[in-house]
């Protein structure tokens, strides 16, 4: 991880304090994201939820409900699982 120009000019003790403060802010944002699961997906089973990104921003996605939400599905950043969700499911009939 590269340090910003001004951070390199600080004395070593202050530099460590600033790095720790930045790390704390990062962890608080991550904790806030993980706590949001209880407000955004109350009726979803936790094992069906996936963390996906939309324009670099993390989102909770329910893998059971996503195939019916076409606009959200098409706006997600591509990965293997999203590509799998986009492929049509072949219907099986009595003759299979």
pLDDT value, residue 95: 62
User: Residue 71 has which token pair?
Assistant: 């606009």
Rounded average pLDDT per 10-residue block, the chain, 96 residues: 62 81 94 92 90 93 89 92 87 67
In DSSP notation, 48-77 reads: GEEEEEETTEEEEEETTTGGG-HHHHHHSP
């Amino acid at each position: 991880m590269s340090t910003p120009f001004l951070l390199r000019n600080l004395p070593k003790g202050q530099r460590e304090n600033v790095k720790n403060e930045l790390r704390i802010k990062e962890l608080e944002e991550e904790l806030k994201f993980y706590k949001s699961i209880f407000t955004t997906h109350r009726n979803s089973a936790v094992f069906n939820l996936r963390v996906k990104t939309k324009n670099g921003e993390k989102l909770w996605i329910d893998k059971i409900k996503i195939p019916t939400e076409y606009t959200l599905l098409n706006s997600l950043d591509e990965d293997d699982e999203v590509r799998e969700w986009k492929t049509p499911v072949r219907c099986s009939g009595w003759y299979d």
